[in-house]
């Protein structure tokens, strides 16, 4: 039963591993007995231990990073041996880190997620600034001068700015800490699924105020590579390598004295298997950074799978990306409530092909009980009928979802100020500034959003301009904002009746051919009702938000070919030819269409089943002809041939 609460909202809409299973000891034993790759990894681990402890025999200083070049390969014989590269390796430079990366697909790495890593460094830096200020420490970021408050408002009172500065700063602490230094009273960070260790190395080189960083990965090849990268970037004094099951590692650190201050989860696919351990291993008020890349599940393509993983039913609609954010926040809050803990979202973004949430975790039994609106009885609902009163179509039931704000606007404003004041710190600073600017403009109390093109498509009319539609809502006395999750989204506190009245008024000015509308269509039902208000589409000055006026980078184009999630790393490395074929199979499928039927779908149906069927036909001359045909599980003959034709292709 779905219950409507202050935190959990069942959504009613109109119709219109990363592997953690296995035995770590068995994997380590296998690595000892494996070939050259594992042998190389063990040598790297031993050199890492030697570099950490100078008293160990054979201790050698870490090799220096190479000169400033984007890619350095070890395949060329003229390269000097002091670069520390093994045959086939490449140096990948991102931020201040230089990562040794094998040419084979043995360890996962996706360069498209540089924005994800840059944003994480910015958020953790601001989180460390707030936490260490309470401990009497001040963090120093290279390139950062005086903090400048970046406001999207056109005017700002100087007295308010001074008051805000006093609240945030107060008296500056005397003790300072900077990047690359080990801070005894600093934060303890865990990257549970580290892969190549790029994120952990960047934390050590770019985030100040850290006591230790634990980079964990279940793969022995990945753990060996992390160890070499720690030496290569000279951060072995901060970065500790772990080769264990991520969930077991976090379960063992559940004690109050052993918990981590920051836990980063960036799995391949769903983070659901690690959430229960993460909410227990995080310290009081600690920061959880979680990425979800299984957007097909969370965006409504498989609602039953979403329910099994996150406890919510997803809906395939235009607002699916924000709904995905609210689904993962609900799942986190539900799992934390089991242990009398609750979450406080700091920042939740939907970008590219994934979503990323930053939440703080606190303990409080009273707050957890207040998660339900009705304390002693179940909430009533749903407050609607089986059909939509506007379009006449059936409602779809989704959720429950997180119904409270997605962001802490004050915290996001501080992160935005830090990034804007030091634009050379990150390679994606312009995009971070654009996304965070839109986040600060969003309405906090208006879950989900409409899209103007979808509203117009419903009633089959041309689409009004974005500023015209926003101005109509403002003229009607309602609040409106854009959304960072969709380019043409409209977030507003206006009820659906006002939205459709505005569209009816727009249709009167831009009429459609109603005689072609079916009487059972949503368009006929909506347009049959006269509007109760007269919308004004005169563009207002405040209809255009500041982020749009300033032409900030908000929605970028695809950066490269085959852009998106990469193939899962495999022990032997490399990507199979079948996977490359599947990638290219539907690329540009609507272009250069062929008319030759022989060039159409040639591969067999996945549900192909050999079921022979003998068909007897009586010919005109009185003789009998027998045809043998093969059927697939769809129940249709596999080929369209005549008698005696045997094919194995399904045309469905």
* Nearest C-alpha neighbor of 290 from the set 263, 324, 256, 265: 265
Q: CA 207 to CA 140: how far, in whole Å?
A: 9
- Count of domains for the chain: 2
Residue 464 and residue 318 share a domain: no
Q: Is the model more confident about 48 or about 516?
A: 516
End-to-end CA distance of the chain: 38
**Dihedral sign computed on CA atoms, order 128, 134, 138, 144:** positive
Flag whether 512 is in a domain: yes
The pairing of strands 182-191 and 210-216 is: parallel
For residues 287 and 124, the answer to whether their CB atoms sit within 8 Å is yes
In a domain, 156, yes or no: no
Say yes or no: 406 and 499 in one domain: no
* Whether residue 281 sits in one domain with residue 401: yes
Q: Quick one: angle between helices 452-459 and 496-509, nearest 10?
A: 60
Beta bridge partners of 92: 99
Residues 313 and 304: their CA atoms lie apart, in Å, by 7
Q: Kindly state whether residue 487 falls inside one of the protein's structural domains.
A: yes
Three-class SS of 336-399:
HHCCCEEEEEEEEEEECCEEEEEEEEEECHHHHHCCCCCCCCCCCCCCCCCECCCCCCEEEEEE
- Flag whether 613 is in a domain: no
Structure tokens at 582: 């599947």
| 3-state SS class at 458 | helix
Please compute the mean of the pLDDT values over residues 143-157 and round it to a whole number.
56
Average pLDDT over residues 368-397: 75
Nearest CA-CA partner of 129 in 183, 75, 59: 183
In angstroms, the CA 490 to CA 443 distance is: 10
Mean pLDDT, residues 478-503 taken together: 95
Output the six-digit token pair for 400. Answer: 């429950």
| Helix (H/G/I), strand (E/B), else coil: 595 | coil
Let me know if residue 514 belongs to a domain.
yes
Residues 463 and 365 both lie in one domain = no
Average pLDDT, the chain: 78
**Same domain, yes or no: 417 and 454:** no
Mean pLDDT of the 54-61 span: 37
Domain boundary among 521, 550, 579: 550
Q: Are residues 402 and 491 in the same domain?
A: no
580-606 average pLDDT score? 58
- Return the number of other C-beta atoms located less than 10 Å from residue 360's C-beta: 18
Question: Is residue 455 predicted with pLDDT exceeding 90?
Answer: yes
- Give the range among 67-76, 131-140, 298-307 with minimum mean pLDDT: 67-76
In degrees rounded to 5, what are phi and psi of residue 80?
A: -70, 150
Span 82-101, average pLDDT: 80
Domain that holds residue 331: 111-142+175-371+388-421
CATH assignment at residue 400: 3.40.50.150
- Give the tokens for residue 410: 């004050």
pLDDT at 624: 53
Residues 195 and 319 in one domain: yes
Judge whether 35 lies within some domain: no
Longest dimension (CA), the chain: 107
Are the C-beta atoms of 87 and 75 separated by less than 8 Å?
yes
- Give the per-residue SS3 of 33-72: HCCHHHHHHHHHHHHHHHHHCCCCCCCCCCCCCCCCCCCC
Instruction: Give me the mean pLDDT over the 433-440 stretch.
Output: 96
pLDDT (mean) for 8-26: 46
Distances (CA, A) of 617 to 632, 636, 638, 639: 22, 19, 19, 18
Strand 282-292 to strand 175-178: parallel, antiparallel, or no bridges (unpaired)?
A: unpaired
Question: pLDDT tens digit string along 269-304?
Answer: 899 999 999 999 999 999 999 999 999 999 999 999
- Identify which has the larger pLDDT, 45 or 219: 219
Q: Is residue 646 in some structural domain?
A: no
User: Looking at the predicted structure, is the pLDDT value of residue 33 above 50?
Assistant: no
- What is the reported pLDDT for 4? 39
pLDDT of residue 85: 77
Which residues, other chains included, contact 405 with Cβ-Cβ below 8 Å and sequence gap of 6+? 345, 444, 445
**113 or 501, greater pLDDT:** 501
Same domain, 415 and 478: no
Instruction: Kindly give the interhelix angle for 198-206 and 220-232, rounded to the nearest 10 degrees.
Output: 30
What percent of the chain clears pLDDT 90, i.e. is strictly above it?
Answer: 56
pTM: predicted TM-score of the whole model, two decimal places? 0.75
Q: Are residues 230 and 360 in the same domain?
A: yes
Handedness of CA 196, 201, 206, 207 (dihedral sign): positive
58 within some domain: no
- Asked whether residue 274 falls in the same domain as residue 343, the answer is yes
Same domain, 257 and 335: yes
**CATH number reported for the structural domain that contains residue 451 in this entry:** 3.30.56.70
Could you tell me what percentage of the chain is helix, strand and coil, using 3-state DSSP and rounding each to the nearest 5?
Answer: 35, 20, 45
pLDDT of residue 285: 96
Residues 394 and 493 in one domain: no
DSSP state of 325: H
- Give 324-380 pLDDT, tens digit per residue: 999 999 999 999 999 999 999 999 999 988 999 999 999 998 888 776 654 455 556
Does the pLDDT value for residue 243 go beyond 50? yes
Shortest CA distance to 188 belongs to which of 148, 144, 242? 242
Neighbouring C-beta atoms of residue 36, cutoff 10 Å: 8
Instruction: Identify the three-state secondary structure at position 93.
Output: strand
- Residue 381 contacts residue 8 (beta carbons within 8 Å): no
């Amino acid at each position: 039963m779905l219950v409507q609460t202050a935190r959990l909202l069942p959504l009613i809409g109109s119709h219109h591993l990363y592997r953690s299973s296995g035995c770590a000891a068995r994997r380590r034993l296998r690595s000892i007995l494996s070939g050259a790759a594992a042998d190389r990894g063990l040598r790297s681990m031993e050199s890492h231990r030697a570099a950490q402890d100078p008293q160990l025999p054979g201790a050698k200083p870490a090799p220096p990073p190479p000169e400033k070049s984007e890619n350095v390969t070890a395949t060329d014989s003229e390269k000097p041996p002091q670069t520390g590269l093994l045959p086939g390796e490449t140096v990948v430079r991102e931020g201040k880190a230089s990562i040794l990366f094998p040419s084979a697909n043995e360890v996962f790495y996706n360069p498209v997620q540089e924005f994800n890593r840059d944003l994480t460094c910015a958020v953790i830096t601001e989180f460390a600034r707030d936490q260490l200020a309470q401990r009497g420490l001040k963090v120093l970021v290279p390139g950062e001068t005086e903090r400048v408050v970046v406001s999207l408002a056109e005017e700002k009172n100087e007295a308010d700015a001074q008051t805000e500065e006093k609240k945030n700063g107060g008296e500056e602490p005397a003790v300072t800490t900077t990047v690359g230094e080990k801070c005894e009273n600093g934060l303890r960070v865990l990257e549970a699924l580290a892969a190549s260790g790029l994120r952990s190395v960047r934390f050590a080189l770019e985030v100040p105020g850290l006591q230790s960083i634990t980079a964990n990965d279940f793969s022995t090849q990945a753990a060996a590579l992390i160890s070499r990268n720690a030496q290569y970037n000279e951060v072995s004094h901060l970065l500790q390598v772990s080769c264990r099951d991520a969930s077991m590692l976090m379960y063992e650190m559940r004690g109050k004295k052993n918990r981590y201050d920051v836990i980063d989860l960036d799995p391949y696919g769903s983070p659901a298997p690690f959430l229960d351990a993460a909410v227990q291993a995080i310290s009081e008020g600690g920061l959880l950074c979680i990425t979800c890349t299984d957007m097909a599940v969370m965006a409504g393509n498989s609602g039953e799978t979403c329910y099994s993983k996150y406890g919510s039913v997803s809906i395939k609609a235009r607002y699916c990306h924000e709904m995905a954010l609210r689904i993962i926040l609900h799942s986190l809050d539900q799992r934390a409530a089991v242990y009398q803990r609750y979450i406080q979202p700091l920042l939740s973004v939907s970008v590219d092909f994934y979503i990323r949430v930053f939440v703080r975790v606190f303990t409080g039994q009273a707050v957890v009980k207040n998660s339900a609106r009705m304390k002693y009885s179940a909430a009533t609902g749903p407050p609607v009928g089986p059909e939509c009163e506007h379009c006449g179509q059936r409602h779809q039931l989704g959720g429950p979802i997180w119904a409270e704000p997605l962001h802490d606007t004050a915290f996001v404003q501080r992160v935005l100020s830090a990034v804007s004041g030091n634009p050379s710190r990150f390679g994606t600073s312009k995009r971070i500034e654009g996304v965070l600017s839109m986040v600060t403009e969003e309405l906090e109390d208006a879950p989900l959003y409409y899209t103007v093109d979808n509203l117009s498509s419903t009633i089959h009319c041309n689409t009004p301009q974005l500023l015209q539609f926003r101005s109509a809502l403002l003229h009607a006395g309602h609040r409106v904002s854009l959304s960072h999750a969709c380019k043409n989204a409209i977030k507003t506190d206006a009820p659906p009746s006002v939205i459709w009245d505005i569209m009816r008024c727009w249709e009167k000015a831009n009429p459609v051919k109603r005689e072609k509308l079916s009487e059972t269509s949503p368009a006929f039902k909506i347009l049959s009702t006269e509007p109760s208000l007269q919308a004004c589409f005169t563009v207002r000055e405040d209809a255009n938000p500041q982020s749009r006026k300033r032409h900030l980078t908000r929605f970028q184009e695809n950066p490269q070919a085959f852009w998106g999630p990469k193939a899962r790393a495999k022990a032997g490395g490399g990507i199979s030819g079948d996977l490359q074929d599947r990638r290219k199979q539907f690329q540009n499928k609507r272009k250069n269409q062929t008319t030759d039927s022989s060039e159409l779908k040639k591969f067999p149906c996945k549900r192909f089943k050999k079921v022979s069927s003998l068909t007897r036909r009586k010919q005109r001359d009185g003789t009998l002809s027998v045809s043998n045909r093969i059927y697939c599980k769809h129940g249709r003959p596999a080929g369209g041939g005549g008698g005696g034709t045997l094919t194995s292709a399904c045309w469905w």
